[in-house]
Structures are given as C-alpha cells and as structure tokens.
Amino acid sequence: MIADRVRKFFVIGFVIVFFSYLFGPLLLMSVSAFNSSAFPRVSPFECFTVEWFAVLAQDATLMEGLRNSLFIGFGVVLIAVPMGLAGALMLTQVNPRVRPWYYTVVISPILIPGVVLGISTLVFWDRLGTMFGASYDSIFYDGIFLTIVGQSTFIAAYAMLVFISRLQRFDTAQEEAALDLGATNVQAFRKVLLPFLKPAIGSAAVLAFLASFENYNTTVFTIVSESTLTTVLASKVRYGINPSISALAVVIVVLTLVGAVFYEILQRREAAAAKASEAVARGETATRAQQAALYADPAVIIALLVFIAGFGTVYFAGTLGVDECKVAVKEEKQRLARERTKMRQSLEMFKGAAPGVQTAPATTAPKVRAKGTEGYENVFAPSNLEETVDSDSPAQQKQQEQPEEKVESPGKSQFQNIFDPANLQQQSGSGGTN
C-alpha cells in the first residue's frame, strides 16, 4: 500500500518534472511575448500587451529573413523530396550485396556536421564559379541558391528514410501485376507505386520544409550576404533582443499546435472511416457508435477552438487599457523612486535639524559646497543636468515640474537646490526606463 503510494508519488513527480522540462521554456517565452517590459521576461509582469506582435511585423530584417526562409524551404522540398524518392527506389533495386554500402553512402550526409556541409557547398560552388569565370552576382554566389542546394544534400537523406519505411510495406507483386497487365514501367510507377507513396511524399515534404526552416549550421555559411530567419535571430540575440522574438516563437508554437491537431483529426478520421468500411465489408452495418466516431473528434476540436477564441477575446478586452496600464506602471515606478528619495531626504533633514548633536564636519560640509555653487553661477545645479538628460519622456517632464512645488522648503533656498530630490529621482528614473 505504502509502496504503491510512494511509487505513484514518484511517477507523478517525474511526469511533472519531465513536462516542465519540456514545456517550461516554451511557456515562459510565450508569456514574455505578452509582457510590455522592454526585455523578454515574465517577472515582473508589467502590462498585458500584443504590441510585440506589431513590432515583429514591422521588423523589416526579420520579415526579409522569414520570406527567404519560406522560399528556401519550398525550394528544398522541391529538390530534396524527389532526390529522396529516387534514392529510396534505388535502394530497392540495387544488388543485395551492394545494398549496405549504398545505404551508408546515401545516409552519410546526415552524419556529417552541418557546418562541414555548409563550408563544402560554399567552396564547391565558388570553385565551379571560378572555373566558369562567373561574376559575383551569378548563381554560383547566390546565397538563396547555395542554401537550397546545401540544405538539400542532407535533407534528401531524411526524405529518403521516410520513403524507405513506406516502400518496405509495398507489395512488389502489385508492380508486377501492373506490368503483367500491359502497363509500361512509367505507367506502373505513376498509377500504382506513386499513389501508394502519396502519404510518404506528404510526410517527407513537411519534414524537409521544417528541417530547412530551422536549419542554422549549414545556412550560416551558404547564405553569404542574404539572411534567413535563423541567421537574423542569431544576430539579434547577439546584439540585444526584445520580446518581439518571443512573439515570433508564439506564432511558430501556435502554428505547430494547430498543424498537429489537424493532422491528428485527419488521422483519426481516416482510421474511423477504414474501420467502418471494413465492418461494411464483413456485412455488418456501421453502428451508431462508429458513425459517431467520425464526427466526435472535430466536435472536440471545435469546442477547443471556441474556448481558445473566448479566452483570447477576454484577454484582448484587457489589452484595450494597455496604455493606461503602462502609464500606471511608470507612475508606480516614479512613486517608488520618490519614496526612496523622501527617505533619504528625511534622513538629511534629520541630520540638519539637530546640529548640536551632529559633529562639526557634518554641518560645515554643505556650507562649503554652497560657497562653490555661488562662485560658479550654479554650474552644478541639478536643473542643468535635467536639461541634458533626454527629456522627451513625459515621466521626466513631470519630474521637472516637481522642484517648483518644493521651492518653499527652507533647506532648498539655502543650499541652492543641491539636495533636490529630483536629482536622485532623475538618476534612478532614467536608469529604470532605459
């Protein structure tokens, strides 16, 4: 009994830890995309905002990279999928004794580091370009072309693996039957083998696209002067990031989730349909339960989507007040800063109000400074500083107004504003917002 409970505890604990490990970073990143804080972070969560998505959409270099990545992805699909198919078909045709060698050769691009593939692609096409005396704006030096070619070398091997596993389930007698019935080799391929391989072609294309889209190691060399999403991201990370990168991550995660969910729906529907038609073949009529199974999953998914949409709407309603929230956050920051200064100020006041208790240097020091300020015409006046520090932020303008309010305080006129709380406030305030 106790052992059972302990085991259960550990299993649940492990599951929690495991999933936190898997999804924790994604979750934190997603949350940070909606935080108005200028640095991607979750805590403190300042204001809920979708402005980073707008920032993302306006980021020209990122969008350029994304466009290139999509283009390269499609290019890689167009090259790698037929290449993988050809490689897999070849594997079924070669002599069994040669087969292991052939397999090793065609699979090797997966084992070779992407960096090596990138450099070798670059060098190879450069040599080729030199041989033909091509100029630097010819195809031999075109980053997009080189990247498509370079990525295809190993992505074709991925596609081939997909095709091999599908081909292993192909009954070669079907091909023979087609030939026997008078089909040419091309007809047998087109009418019998290709329809059978259709699902694998789809899988291989998706796999090839994703592998291309996320590739960095090879791309960073072959892209030359162009950029892809991954290279832009990498350079951004190097030179400082903002939450628009988190926003991009959210977009990608959501797209992936939606894709996965729809794929699952399709799969289940097909399985249910196959089951139902097999039942028909056995002479049973499809039971209500089986028919219901055809529609159950879409219903669940629709409910889920409605829920997500509702959740989103509620949050969007909250974002309408995002500007007020930002102002509130800034005011809160200023208030905190003011409190800090007040504390310091009152400490000073306390020191000034009790000269008898204080030691001599403490009371003479401000006087010495006061003399200096007189002589140099307020050259160290805090108001001087106020004007040089960038003053277009409204919070700072407010701060500038504050000294006037406190002009009456006796210590100030006497010490020429040297202990003006705004001095400190400004320093801490500007440090906080930048």
Partner 1 sequence: MSADVELNDVWIKFGDFVAARDVNITIEGGEFFSFLGPSGCGKTTLLRAVSGFLEPSQGTIKIGGQNMAGIGPNKRPTALIFQNLALFPLMAVWENIAFALEVRGMGKAARRKKADELLELIALPGQGDKLVHELSGGQKQRVAIARALAAEPEVLLLDEPLSALDLKLRQHMRTELRAIQQRVGITFIYITHDQGEALTMSDQVAVMREGIIEQVGDGNNIYDHPATSFVASFVGENNLFRGRITGIDGDYAMVDTNVGPLKARMTKTNGEVPLKFNDDAFVFVRPESLKFANGVNYENTVRARIAHQEFEGHFWQVYLDVAQAEKRISMSLVNDGQELGHETGSEVTLGFTPDLAVALPEGPLAAGE
Q: How many residues bind partner 1 (CB under 8 A)?
A: 22
- Smallest gap from Cβ 284 to partner 1, in A, equals 12
Answer yes or no whether residue 270 interacts with partner 1 by CB under 8 A: no
On the CB side of 301, CA atoms within 13 Å amount to: 17
Q: Which is nearer to partner 1, 7 or 198 (CB)?
A: 198
The b-or-e profile of 291-300 (16+ CB within 10 A means b, else e) is eebeeebeee
- Smallest gap from Cβ 165 to partner 1, in A, equals 18
Answer yes or no whether residue 291 interacts with partner 1 by CB under 8 A: no
Answer yes or no whether residue 50 interacts with partner 1 by CB under 8 A: no
Residue ranges in 208-237 that form contacts with partner 1 under rule CB under 8 A: none
Q: How far are the Cα atoms of 217, 248, 249, 333 from residue 25, in angstroms, in the given order? A: 22, 14, 11, 28
Are 175 and 188 in contact, with CB atoms under 8 Å apart? yes
Q: Which is nearer to partner 1, 64 or 175 (CB)?
A: 175
Answer yes or no whether residue 168 interacts with partner 1 by CB under 8 A: no
Q: Structure tokens of 19?
A: 């999933």
Length of the chain: 434
Answer yes or no whether residue 181 interacts with partner 1 by CB under 8 A: yes
Answer yes or no whether residue 173 interacts with partner 1 by CB under 8 A: yes
Contact segment (CB under 8 A) with partner 1 among 42-50, 119-127, 217-225, 278-286 equals: 278-286
Q: Which is nearer to partner 1, 271 or 308 (CB)?
A: 271
Are 201 and 77 in contact, with CB atoms under 8 Å apart? no
Answer yes or no whether residue 192 interacts with partner 1 by CB under 8 A: yes
Instruction: Name 209's Cβ contacts closer than 8 Å, sequence gap at least 6.
Output: 73, 74, 76, 77
Q: Which is nearer to partner 1, 181 or 317 (CB)?
A: 181
Answer yes or no whether residue 317 interacts with partner 1 by CB under 8 A: no
Q: How far are the Cα atoms of 2, 146, 262 from residue 81, in angstroms, in the given order? A: 55, 17, 23
DSSP 8-class letter at 285? P
Chain contacts with partner 1 (rule: CB under 8 A): 171, 173-174, 176-184, 187, 191-192, 195-196, 274, 277-278, 280-281
